[in-house]
Amino acid sequence: MILLPLVLLQAVALQIFYGSHLDIVSRRLSGSVAADLAYTLDMLNLFPEDRARILRLAHQQFDLVLKMEPGTLAVTPRVNILGPMDDDLANALEERLRLPFTMDWTSDPQSVFVRAQLQDGVLDIEVPRKRLYTGTIYIFVLWLVGSAMLLFGIAALFMRNQVRAIRRLAAAAEAFGRGQDIGMIKPEGATEVRQAATAFNRMQERIRRFLAQRTEMLAGVSHDLRTPLTRLRLALEMMPARPELQQDVAEMTADVEEMEGMVSGYLAFARGEGAEQAEPVNLSAVLEEVAAGARRAGAAVELDVPPALTLSLRANAVRRALTNLVDNARRHAHHVALAAIPQGRMVFVTVDDDGPGIPPERRESVFRPFESGAAGGTGLGLTIARDIVRAHGGEISLEDSPLGGLRARVRLPA
């Protein structure tokens, strides 16, 4: 956006200058020098007895230093220089003099030496360079490059300020997507960027208000549902302890407990962990706590984690997600392996089991609410786990385990 227009501007300006102005000026200056030389040679041919006077007048009037030498002209290859001046002078001399000649542009930085073959010798001609090209080319190039650098610096500084505001907005959006409470961001930068920041602040406020209203509503719904469930539990406990009713009472009590678990799970899923803020957490310690809890529940859990693995996490939420995965594994397997592997900018947590596994065609469906109920949970364990991991900018995938069962792979940004 900045560099390309400047480069194109310079290319067009240089092309116009070199292709038109400089070329025209060079041709006219070379033609003028060639015409002066041709006039001088004509005068020498007409008045050979006044050779010294003619050479002196040429020096005075045309600023040309001419000197006759005996012998013949030694033809040497001509060295091209940058620019059209040497070619224009050669063309003009060929057109005007019609004599063999050589040119030397490299021996003297102030003059150009031309040698022409005459009938009685060689004419040495010293032409001042100022008569063959204009010094404004250097001024033009310096002005062009200097102005371009100045404009580029101003534009780069302006764009840097705009990009800084955009990057700050992008970082705020990323942090908000991970569940971090970043507060309102200050609108700054160009008008469009300020409008985007203002819209982002309004979006944050609407989402927070929606979450708060949803949590309050579901808390009320949960309370309303728990009241009849509590009455049912009390009614079951007050029923007479008759042997013929014990089986029915036990089954009804299990159904009530399952309904209470489903209500609690749904409320937890809807509420999420929004109040918790991300902070540096030792993931290895969290995994050790999860493994210890599974062992207390009677599971055989193998743990393989680095000594210290610090990430920016919401500790309680991540602990809950990993506990759901480990509990789901231990309910269907005899052996569970829990590991954490850092790889570049990501950390992979794997939960392997030796259970029956899940067919590949059903692995995505178990993340839907209440689809995982057949696995023995409330139907929200994997859903909540994926929701928590995605809130941290990660992902959960299900794969075949080296132990023969199912592997849950959790990817978290480091």
Residue 35 has pLDDT above 70, yes or no: yes
Quick check: 30 and 83 in contact, CB under 8 A? no
Query: What gap in Å lies between CA 87 and CA 95, rounded to an integer?
Result: 12
Show Cβ contacts of residue 84 under 8 Å, excluding neighbours closer than 6 positions: 18, 22, 23, 26, 27
- CA distance linking residue 405 with residue 414, whole number of Å: 28
Give the pairing type, strands 395-400 and 346-353. Answer: unpaired
Rounded to 5 degrees, what angle do the CA atoms 411, 280, 287 make? 55
**Separation between Cα atoms, residue 356 and residue 373, nearest integer Å:** 16
Q: Which residues touch 332 (CB under 8 Å, ≥6 apart)?
A: 353, 355, 356, 375, 376, 405, 406
Measured CA to CA, the distance from residue 34 to residue 12 in angstroms comes to 32
Identify the structural domains of the chain with CATH numbers, from first to last: 3-134 (3.30.450), 191-271 (1.10.287.130), 279-413 (3.30.565.10)
Residues 362 and 159: their CA atoms lie apart, in Å, by 50
Exposed/middle/buried for 153, CB within 10 Å: 0-12, 13-18, 19+? exposed
Which SS3 state, helix, strand or coil, does residue 166 take? helix
Q: Does pLDDT of 350 surpass 90?
A: yes
Strand, helix or coil for residue 252: helix
Residue 18: is its pLDDT beyond 70?
Answer: no
Which pLDDT does position 348 carry in this prediction?
93
Encoded tokens for 374: 């057949």
Backbone angles phi and psi of 389, in degrees to 5: -65, -40
CA atoms within 13 Å, Cβ hemisphere of 104: 15
Question: Between the CA of residue 373 and those of 131, 257, 261, 361, 409, what are the distances in Å?
Answer: 96, 15, 12, 17, 20
Contact criterion met (CB below 8 Å) for 76 and 102:
yes
User: In 3-state terms, what secondary structure has residue 68?
Assistant: strand
DSSP state of 120: T
Mean pLDDT of 205-216: 80
Q: Residue 70: which pLDDT band, with cuts at 50, 70 and 90?
A: confident
Q: What is the pLDDT of residue 379?
A: 53
DSSP assignment of 121-164: EEEEEEEEGGGTS-THHHHHHHHHHHHHHHHHHHHHHHHHHHHH
Instruction: Write out pLDDT tens, residues 173-203.
Output: 887 876 667 788 888 888 888 899 999 999 9
- Give the pLDDT confidence of 283-310 residue by residue, as tens digits: 999 999 999 988 988 888 999 998 888 8
Under DSSP, the state recorded for 19 is I
Reading the block at residue 145, the tokens are 């490059």
Q: How high is the pLDDT of residue 269?
A: 57
Question: By mean pLDDT, which of 110-114, 118-122, 126-130, 247-251 is the weakest?
Answer: 247-251
| Distance of alpha carbon 154 from alpha carbon 152, whole angstroms | 5
Q: For residue 56, give the H/E element and its range.
A: helix 51-62
- Residue 120: both structure tokens together: 């009685």
pLDDT over threshold 80, residue 411: yes
Cα(414)–Cα(281) distance, integer angstroms: 11
- The model's pLDDT over 361-378, given as tens digits with 9 standing for 90+, comes to 888 888 876 554 444 444
Question: Across-strand partners of 66?
Answer: 125
